[in-house]
Structure 1
Amino acid sequence: MGHCYRIRVATGAWLFSGSHNCVRLWLVGERGEAELELQLRPVRGEKEEFVLDSPEDLGTLQFVKLRKQHSLVDDAWFCDRITVQCPGTSAETAFPCYRWVQGKGVLSLPEGTARLAGDNGLDVFQKHREKELKERQQIYCFVPTSSWATWKEGIPLTIAANCLDDLHPNVRFQEEKRLDFEWALKAGALEMVLKRVYTLLSRWNRLEDFDLIFWGQKSALTEKIHQCWQEDDFFGYQFLNGTNPMLLRRSTSLPSRLVLPSGTEELQAQLEKELQIQPPNPSFPTPTLFLPSDPPLAWLLAKSWVRNSDFQLHQLQYHLLNTHLVAEVIAVATMRCLPGLHPVFKLLVPHIRYTLEINTRARTQLISDGGLFDQAANTGGGGHVQLLHRAMAQLTYCSLCPPDDLADRGLLGIPSALYAHDALQLWEIIARYVEGIVHLFYQRDDIVRGDPELQAWCREITEVGLCQAQNRGFPISLQSRAQLCHFLTMCVFTCTAQHGAINQGQLDWYAWVPNAPCTMRMPPPTTKEDVTLATVMGSLPDIRQSCLQMTITWHLGRRQPDMVPLGHHKEEYFSDPQAKAVLSQFQTDLENLENEITARNEQLDLPYEYLKPSRIENSVTI
C-alpha cells in the first residue's frame, strides 16, 4: 500500500503571477524522494491541491524541489508557498517561497522551520544555506566583486544598480505597484500642466496667488495649514509634531551662535521668541536678529527661511539618509549574509519589501544629476550632497533609537510632544515583538556570540554599508541577546515607524507651498526695513517650482494602494506555532495602541495621525 502525500500549491495574487509553463515538483525526505506525476500549470491567486502516492515512506520532509519547463517563452511564476500533509497526520509541513520561479534550474525550498547555522542537525540544510548565500551574493550585484556600490563618496553604500533592470525580480515592485507608481507620476505631470495653464500668470504678485494652484488632492489638515500658516504658534507646532519632528531640542542656555546686539540683553529671557536666520561668521557683519515685533513681512520672510531650511534637512537628512539609505543598508546586508532559514532573516524580510526599487528610482529620478531635486530645491545641484556629508556625522546609533534620541534632545515627558509619545510606545511594542522572536532561537548570550551568519550581518551593516559606523556607536558584533534585540528593534523601527512619521506628513504640511518652500530665490534679508511684499514673493518658489513641490509631495506622501500595515504582512515566513503566537501578540499590541491614539486624537484640535499603526507601512516602499 502506498503513502499518500497531499500537496497544496499557492500562487501569488499579483498580475502575471501565474504561468503558462509546466512546473515539475517532487518531495525530498530523509529516506528518499518522489516526483508528482502531474505537471503544474500555476494559476494566479489559486491554491491548487494534488495527491502524490509514494511507494515508500519518505520520512521527515526536508525540501520541495521545483523546476519550471519552457520551450519558447520563459513565463515566470510567483510561488507563495507549498504545504504538504504527510501520511497519518492532519498537520501540514510548510515550505515558504514568496519569490519568482524562472529559468530551467531547480529551486529547492527547505522546510520552513527557522534554524541557526549550528542547529541544522542534517548536513543537507547547512549545504543549502551556504549555496543560497553564495548565489545571493552574486545575484545582488552587477559588479562581480561586490554587491555594494558607492552612490556618492562618504554616504552609505547602496545596491549596485544603475537602473531598475539591474535589480533582481524578487526585489522589484509587483505589477500593480509599478502601474500605480507610474500612473501617479503621469497624473502629477498632467496636474502640473493644468495648474500652469490655469494660473495665467508669469510670476506671483501676492500670497493669495498661491490659491490658484491650491487644488487637487488635499487633506483636512492641509486646509487648516492654509488658514493658519502665518500664526507663530502654528509655526512652532510644526517642529514638535509636523512632518519633521527630529530637529527640535530643548535649549538650556543661550546658543553660542546667537549674537545679540548691544542693549538687548533682556531678550535672553525670551529666547523662545528669537530668530536669527544666519549663524554668525567672523568674516561678515553680524546677521540681523528677527523678532515677532518686527514689521510683519520681515518676520514672515524670516520664518519662511527657517521653514525652507527645515525642508532641506527633513528631505535629505531625516528622510533620505536616516530612513531610506539606512533601510537599504539593512536590506542589502540581510540578503547577503542571512539565509532564508535564519530566524533574523524571517523576522526582517517583510520589512525590506520594495526598498531597493524605491531607492533606485530615487537615485535615478529624484536626486540624480538634473533630477527633480535639482529642478526644485535650493540644495539641488550638489548642495544636497554636501548636506548629506555633514549629516553623516550626526547619523549615530543613538539617533536612530527614540529612547536615546528623545532623551538627548530633552523631549521626554512633554505632554504636547505627540510624536515623542507615540514613537516611544511603538518602540516598546516592537522591542517586545523582537524579544519574543529572538528568545525562541537564542536561549543564551553565547549562542548570539557564536552565530557566524548573524555576526557577519552586523559587520556588513556597520563596517561596510554605513561606512565604518562603529565610530558613531554602531556595533560591529553582537555579544548578548539584549544587544541583538536592541539592534533589531532599531532596524524594524527605522524601516517602519520612523519612515512613516517622516514621510506621511509631506502631503499635509508641504501642499501649501508658502508654509514650507522648497527653495528661496533671493538671498536672506540683511535688514528688516527693506522687506516688502515684492521681496517675499520674489523669494518664494516660482510657479513652476511650486507646482512641482505640490505634485511630488502628493506622489510621495499619499497612501499607497497596496499598503501593508505594520505587522500585518500575509507572508508566513515562520512556520512554528510559537513564532506565530509572538506575531499575533504583536498585532494585538498594535491594535491596542491604535485605539489609544484614536481616543486621544478625538480630544485634540490637531490630531497626530502619522504613528497610528494602521497608517504605518511595513517597509520603506515610497
Structure 2
Amino acid sequence: MAEYKLEVTTGKVTNAGTLDKIYVTLIGAKQESVRTELDNFGLDFQIGMTGKYTVKTSLSLGKLLLIKVEKDPCFLLPEDEWYCSKIVVTTPVGDALLFPCYRWISRGELVELRGGRAMKVFDDDHNLLTGHREKELKLKRNLYQWEVTDERLPHMSHFKEISELPAEISFSMSQKIEMLFKQKLSGVELRVNKLIGSAEQWKTIDDIKKIFCSKKTTMSEYVTKHWMEDDFYGFQFLNAINPNVIKRCSGLPANFPVTEEMVKPFLEQGCSLQKEIEKGNIFLCDFKRMDGLPTKVYDGESLQVTAGLCLFYVNPEKKLMPIAIQLQQQPSEQNPIFLPSDTETDWVLAKMFIKNADIMQHQSVYHLMNTHQLAGVFTVATLRSFPAIHPLYKLLIPHIRYTLQINTMARKYIFGPDEILSRSSLGYNGMIALMRKALSEVTYSSLCLPENITARGLESIPNFYYRDDGLKLWNIINSFVRAVVEYYYPSDSEVCKDTELQEWISEIFTHGFLGNKGFPAGFNTVEEVIKFITMVIFTVTAQHAAVNDGQFDYYSWAPNGTLLLHKPPPTTKGQSSMKTILETLPNVGETVNFAATVWILSEKYIDTVPMGTYPEERFDEPAIKQMIKEFQAELSYLSEAIQERNSQLEVPYTYLDPAQIDNSIAI
C-alpha cells in the first residue's frame, strides 16, 4: 500500500470557500489512483484553509504527472464556486511536488493540474504530458480570441462584457464591490453639491474648489495653489503624469521662429538662446501629432485643438521654465508666439491650450494605447501561447492578472463613442485618429526606457525623478528577468526551438505592433528575450503607474489641465481676461464628470498587489524562489531610497515607488 499526502489550500479571496464535495485522482506515469473524496471531520475548503488528506493506492503510481480535481454538489445547496490556490503532494518516497491552481472551479467541472518544475515544450518526456499540454492550449486558444476593431490600432480580446470573462482573470469580489462603492460615493457627493448635469459656466476660479469636499490629496491641494506658476508648469512635463513628450532642443524647428530678442529677458543675464541650446539647457514639446485631426462638434460647431510648440529653459536654479509658446504649427500673424511677459491671462491661456493637447495625447496614446492596450495584447498572447507549466507563463501571469477585466470595462465605460474620453476637444473620432498616427510612429526603443531617455536627450536634465526612479526600476526588473530567463534558457538554441515562445512573440508582433518591422517578430537569442520581457513587465507595472496614478492629483483641478476647452486658441494678444479663461474651461457638469473619472482611475483598492510580491506560489524551483526574494529586496531598497529623497522635496514624486506600484494593470 502506497500513501500520497495532500495539502489542499483554499484561496483567501472573498467567497473562495465551498460546501460542495471535492474529489481528486492522481495520475502517474505507471497508473492512476481511484477517484478519492477529500473529506475530513468538520468543514473543509473554507477561505484560507489548508486541509490535509491521504490518497492510498495499492501500488506506486510512478512519476506523478497530473492531478484531476472535480467538484460535485453537496445535497441541494446552490452553486458556490471554489477558489483552489494550490495542492502540494508528498509522494511515498518523500518528494514534495507543488501543483499550482489559482483558479475558480465550478460544480461539475473537471480540472487537470500539472506540477513540479516549469517545463518548456521540448522538455516534456511523457505522452500524457504532451497530450495535456496540447489540449490545454487548444482550449485556451478557443477561449481567448483576438478581435480586430480597427486595423490601425492594437487588436483586442473578443470579450464584450465582464460577465464573459473566465473567473480566474476577473477581479475578486471585494474589489468589484469596492469599485462600485467608490463610483457611488463620488456620484452622491457631486449630486449633493448639485453639480452633475449643470450646464452653467464657472463664475470664479475659486468656485471650482467646491467639486469635492471629502476627496483631496496633498498633491491636489498643492496643484490648486500653484497651477499658474511657470516653474511648476515646467515641473509637470517631467514629473507629473505625462513625462513622455518633452525632449532636448538641439535646434529650433523652422516653423517656430523664436528670436533672441523674444526670450532674452527670461534667460540668464549675458546668455543667448543659441548658447543655451548648445549647452543643452533648452527643451521642447512639439504637439505636431495634433495637426489636422478631426475635432468634436459642440453646439453645432467644431472645437479647435492646439498643434502647438512650447519652448523650455533650465535656468540657473535648475528649474524648467516655459519661455515661448506657439499654438499652431505654421507661423503667421494669427499665430503669435506667446511669452511670459505678455498679459497674465494671455500667458495662462497659452499654457492651458498646450496642456489640453498634452492631456489628450497622454490619455489616448501614453495611457490607453501604450499601457492598457499593449498590456491587453501581452495578456491575450500569453494566455493563448503558453500552458500554465511554461516558465514564462509563471513569470508573466502575476503581471497580467486583471488586464482583460479593466480593459473590457474601459472599452465600454471610458473610451466608448459616448463615454468620458469622447467628450474631449478631439472627440471620439479625433482620439482614434491620434492613436492611429501615434502607433504608426511608435518604435521598440520608445518603449524601452533607457533608449527612450537617450533618444530624447534627457540624460542630464535636473530634477527629473521619473527618469531617475524609472531607470533604477528598469535595471532591477532587467536583472530579475535575466536571472529567470537564463535559468530556463541556458543557450540561444533553446530559445530558437521553443515553439511556444516563438508563437507568443509572433502574436504580439502581429496583433500588437501590426507587423511594424522595428519590432521583433521572433527571438534568436537569450538577450532578445530578456530585453523584451523586461519591457513587458516595466510597461504593465512602472510605466502604467507613472501615467495613471497621479491623475486625481493633477487633473482634478480643471484649470491645471482638462480634456475639453470650449473657446478656440487665441490668435491675437491683449484681448483676454479672467472671464475668457472661465468661458474656455468646461462647464460645471463637464468639469465634475472629468474629476469623478480621475478619482476612480487613481484609487488604490483593498486587493491591490504591490509590485514584486508574487502572492501566488507558481514556481517549485528553490533557485527561482530565491531570485524572487532578491528581486523583492531590491525593490524594497529602492522604495526606501525614494521615500528618503521625497522627504526632502517640496513636491515629492511617488508614482514609481515600488511599494505604490500595482503588480498588474488593475485600474
Which TM-score bucket, shorter chain as reference?
A: over 0.9
Give me the TM-score of the superposition, normalised by structure 2: 0.88
- Pair 1:421-2:453 in alignment: no
**Within 5 Å, which residues of 2 pair with 1:27-426?**
27-35=26-34, 37-39=36-38, 42-70=45-73, 73-89=78-94, 91-140=95-144, 147-196=145-194, 202-260=200-258, 269=273, 271-272=311-312, 273-281=322-330, 286-375=334-423, 377-426=424-473
Q: 1:528 to 1:159 in 2, by over 3 A?
A: same
Q: CA deviation at 1:105?
A: 4.1
Gapped runs of 5+ residues in structure 1? 141-146
- Offset at 1:274? 3.5
Using the alignment, how far apart are the partners of 1:343 and 1:198 within structure 2? 50
Match for 1:603 among 648, 653, 657?
Answer: 648
**Residue 198 and residue 620 in structure 1: after superposition, are their counterparts in 2 closer, same or farther (change >3 A)?**
closer
Question: How far apart are 1:266 and its partner, in Å?
Answer: 6.1
Deviation at 1:149, TM superposition (A): 0.8
**What is the rounded CA distance, in whole Å, between the counterparts of 2:263 and 2:649 in structure 1?**
37
DSSP 3-state at the match of 2:238: helix
- How far apart are 1:550 and its partner, in Å? 1.5
Deviation at 1:309, TM superposition (A): 1.2
Q: Percent identity?
A: 34
Indicate if the aligned counterparts of 1:84 and 1:92 stay in contact, CA closer than 8 A.
yes
Aligned counterparts of 2:364 and 2:195: Cα–Cα separation in 1? 31
Give CA deviations for 1:562-609 in whole Å, capped at 9, x if unaligned.
110111021011111111111111001111111111221122111111
Counterpart of 1:119, as a letter, is D
Compute the displacement of 1:560 (Å).
2.0
Instruction: Give the CA deviation at 1:30.
Output: 1.8
Report the equivalent of 1:143: none
In structure 2, the residue corresponding to 1:382 is in which secondary structure? Answer: helix
Q: 2:666, 2:425 → 1: CA distance?
A: 26
Deviation at 1:39, TM superposition (A): 4.0
Stretch deviating more after TM superposition (46-55 or 433-442): 46-55
Tell me which residue corresponds to 2:515.
468
> Could you give the per-residue CA deviations for residues 371-411 of structure 1, whole angstroms, max 9, x where no partner exists?
12234x22223211111111112322111100110001111
Asked if the contact 1:8–1:84 (Cα under 8 Å) also holds between the matched residues in 2, the reply is yes
More displaced 10-residue stretch of structure 1: 334-343 or 382-391: 382-391
Shift of 1:286: 4.8
What is the Cα-based RMSD across aligned positions, in Å? Answer: 2.1
SS of the aligned residue for 2:33 comes to strand
Q: CA deviation at 1:415?
A: 3.6
**Offset of residue 263 of structure 1:** 7.5
TM-score by length of 1: 0.94
Are the aligned partners of 1:241 and 1:418 in contact in 2 as well (CA < 8 Å)? yes
Of 574, 582, 593, 2:638 maps to 593
Amino acid at match of 1:338: F
How far off is 1:450 after superposition? Answer: 1.1
Hey, what's the Cα distance between the residues in 2 that align with 1:38 and 1:463? Answer: 46
For the structure 1 residues 539 and 612, does the alpha-carbon distance in structure 2 shift closer, same or farther, using more than 3 Å as the test?
same
**After superposition, what is the alpha-carbon deviation per residue over 1:483-505, rounded to whole angstroms, capped at 9, x for unaligned?**
10000000100010110111111
Q: Tell me by how many angstroms 1:277 deviates.
A: 4.1
Deviations 1:274-309 (A, max 9, x none): 433422348x75512110000001101111111111
* Alpha-carbon separation, structure 1, partners of 2:420 and 2:177: 20
What per-residue deviation string (whole Å, max 9, x for no partner) do you get for residues 219-251 of structure 1? 111111111111000000000111111111111
Aligned residues: 610
Cα deviation for residue 454 of structure 1 reads 0.3
**1:82 to partner: Cα distance:** 0.4
Matched, 1:615 2:660: yes
Counterpart position of 2:536 = 491
Which residue identity is paired with 1:168?
A: P
Structure 2 unaligned regions, length at least 5: 266-271, 277-310, 313-321
Q: Distance in 1 between matches of 2:190 and 2:427?
A: 20
Secondary structure of residue in 2 paired with 1:196 = coil
Choose from 547, 553, 562 the match for 2:598: 553
Once residues 446 and 57 of structure 1 are traced to their aligned partners in structure 2, the CA distance between those partners, rounded to angstroms, is 37
1:51 is displaced (CA, Å) by 1.5
Equivalent-residue separation in structure 1 for 2:195 and 2:449 (angstroms): 46
| Contact 1:594-1:612 at 8 Å conserved across structures | yes
How many Å apart are 1:52 and its aligned residue? 1.9
Deviates more, 1:411-420 or 1:323-332: 411-420
2:16 is paired with a residue whose SS is: coil
**Contact 2:391–2:488 (CA<8 Å) still a contact in 1?**
yes
1:297–1:481: structure 2 CA closer, same or farther, 3 Å change rule? Answer: same
Residue of structure 2 equivalent to 1:506: 551
- Comparing 173-182 with 475-484, which one deviates more in the overlay? 173-182
